[in-house]
Amino acid sequence: MNYGFAAPGQAKPPISGTDLAVSITALVLTFAGGGVAAMLGLFMLAFTDHCPPETCSISGAVTAVSTGLLAAAVVAVLGTVVTVVALIRRAKAWPFAVATLVLCGLACVLGLLGYAAAVGA
């Protein structure tokens, strides 16, 4: 068993073009979406005009947005590392890249729902 490494003197098989394209596209969308989500979170917090203390918690809103974005960032970095390692080993990498995109989106949506719950929207 060679655990994904080529034996001495053997060339590695080529990377699948489709796998590489889907992986790169998913990771680019992950980081672009993360940037958009960070800007949206900043603007949502900056433009919360009226927040009555009995139905609204600014600290809860900040915590929800920050936690969602931090979780998305951690997932994005870990997913990128796993995807790159899979590509180097010539294993299928696209499932990891797509899962990274989906999990980052889920973290951002949960942060948005937490914000909405905190401000009483």
pTM: 0.84
At 48-96, the pLDDT tens digits run 877 887 888 889 999 999 999 999 999 999 999 999 999 999 999 999 9
The pLDDT, as a whole number, for residue 51 is 80
What does the chain come to in residues?
Answer: 121
Q: Is the pLDDT of residue 97 over 70?
A: yes
Q: Is the pLDDT of residue 99 over 60?
A: yes
Say how far apart CA 87 and CA 17 lie, in whole Å. 11
- Which residues, at least 6 apart from 100, have a Cβ–Cβ distance to it below 8 Å? 26, 27, 30, 75, 76, 78, 79, 80, 82, 83
